[in-house]
């Protein structure tokens, strides 16, 4: 099995996570890496079975690189949230960026910022065995240790994005749903699969694994219609474009 591993505009966090996997040495033994600029000087692409692409497209020259990778790979996988949805650059008001699916066909997605170790490891082994990647179909709340009664959790006005340092360090607060505490958590619309690593550490879900189904923005609009946002949060665009830029018309509609 031949692999191409490429980085576009990114922090290299997804590649770093890949390299740190316990199974990475086993992955190297079972595959042939034809191109991996992060660790190799080889520049000429050759026909390969799988291409893993990290990062979003933020400049025109990357489009040609991406199309060349697509041409030389049987299957292409978007590695991480930037490649899959656009990524954290969604918060930028100056930089234009796009998920790689805007320019080439994507066969698989491994979401996350960076992808959770277990999810990435299992996906990587599936790819080496020529098996499809399977992602959880439930949302974060399905197995969240703080979920409680969801209807009751939605009754509180949401006025904050993050808890205070005292709350993060408090064991009492770690037993109560963020929504019930008036803190925005995107667990209800985010795909499960990260073992609630942020939530276990006292931080609400920001949605880096993307939507469990359909489009993130439409799901977010539906979710926010069920909660009461403070006026300050209604004016904060980052809710809508932390990891994915929404279509302008939808975005403006939500802000009204």
Indicate the SS3 state at residue 161: coil
Please, which residues have CB within 8 angstroms of residue 228's CB and are 6 or more apart in sequence?
156, 157, 158
Q: Does 172 have pLDDT greater than 80?
A: no
Q: Does 249 have pLDDT greater than 50?
A: no
Return the minimum-mean-pLDDT range out of 35-49, 56-70, 130-144: 35-49
Instruction: Write out the residue limits of the CATH 3.40.50.700 domain(s) in the chain.
Output: 2-128
Tokens 């030389």 correspond to: 72
CATH of segment(s) 2-128: 3.40.50.700
Q: Does 247 have pLDDT greater than 80?
A: no
Q: What are phi and psi of 110, to 5 degrees?
A: -120, 95
- pLDDT confidence bin for 180, thresholds 50/70/90: very high
Spatial distance between the Cα atoms of 67 and 205, rounded to a whole number of angstroms: 33
Segment 7-16 shows an average pLDDT of 95
The better pLDDT of the pair 253, 52 is held by 52
Q: Does 153 have pLDDT greater than 80?
A: no
Return mean pLDDT, the chain: 89
- pLDDT confidence bin for 41, thresholds 50/70/90: confident
Highest-confidence range of 78-87, 139-148, 243-252, by mean pLDDT?
A: 78-87
Segment 79-99 shows an average pLDDT of 91
Residue 4 has a pLDDT of 96
Residue 255 has a pLDDT of 41
* Residue 230: count of CB within 10 angstroms of its CB: 14
Indicate the SS3 state at residue 80: coil
pLDDT tens-digit readout, 91-108: 888 888 999 999 999 999
Residue 242 has a pLDDT of 87
Q: What are phi and psi of 115, to 5 degrees?
A: -60, 140
Q: Which has the closest alpha carbon to 92: 253, 244, 206?
A: 244
Spatial distance between the Cα atoms of 139 and 187, rounded to a whole number of angstroms: 7
Return the minimum-mean-pLDDT range out of 61-70, 92-101, 121-130, 195-204: 92-101
Residue 170 has a pLDDT of 83
Contact 66, 104 (CB under 8 A): yes
- Rounded to the nearest 10 degrees, the angle between the axes of helix 216-224 and helix 248-255 is 10
Spatial distance between the Cα atoms of 153 and 141, rounded to a whole number of angstroms: 12
Strand order in the sheet with 73-79: 32-35, 2-7, 48-54, 73-79, 108-110
Hey, what are 11's tokens? 């922090």
Q: Does 252 have pLDDT greater than 70?
A: no
Indicate the SS3 state at residue 2: strand
Q: What is the pTM of this model?
A: 0.89
Contact 161, 232 (CB under 8 A): no
Hey, what are 115's tokens? 């992808």
Residue 246 has a pLDDT of 66
pLDDT tens-digit readout, 18-32: 999 999 999 999 999
Q: CA 173, 212, 110, 45 torsion: positive or negative?
A: negative
Spell out the alpha helix ranges (H) of 9-91.
13-20, 24-30, 60-71, 81-85
- pLDDT confidence bin for 210, thresholds 50/70/90: very high
């Amino acid at each position: 099995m031949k692999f191409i591993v490429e980085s576009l505009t990114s922090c290299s966090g997804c590649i770093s996570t890949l390299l740190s996997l316990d199974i990475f040495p086993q992955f190297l033994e079972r595959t042939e890496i034809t191109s991996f600029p992060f660790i190799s000087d080889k520049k000429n692409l050759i026909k390969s079975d799988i291409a893993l692409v990290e990062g979003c497209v933020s400049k025109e020259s990357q489009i040609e690189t991406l199309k060349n990778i697509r041409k030389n790979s049987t299957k292409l996988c978007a590695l991480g949230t930037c490649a899959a949805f656009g990524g954290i650059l969604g918060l930028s008001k100056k930089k234009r960026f796009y998920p790689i699916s805007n320019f080439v066909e994507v066969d698989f997605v491994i979401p996350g910022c960076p992808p959770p170790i277990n999810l990435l490891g299992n996906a990587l082994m599936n790819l080496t065995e020529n098996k499809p990647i399977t992602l959880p179909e439930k949302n974060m709340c399905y197995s969240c240790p703080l979920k409680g009664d969801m209807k009751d959790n939605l009754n509180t006005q949401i006025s904050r994005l993050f808890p205070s340092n005292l709350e993060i360090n408090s064991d009492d607060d770690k037993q109560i749903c963020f929504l019930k505490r008036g803190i925005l958590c995107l667990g209800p619309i985010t795909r499960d699969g990260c073992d609630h690593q942020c939530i276990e550490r006292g931080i609400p879900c920001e949605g880096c694994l993307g939507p469990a189904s359909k489009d993130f923005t439409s799901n977010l609009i539906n979710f926010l219609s069920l909660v009461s946002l403070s006026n300050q949060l209604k004016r904060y665009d980052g809710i809508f474009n932390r990891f994915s830029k929404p279509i302008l018309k939808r975005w403006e509609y939500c802000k009204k």
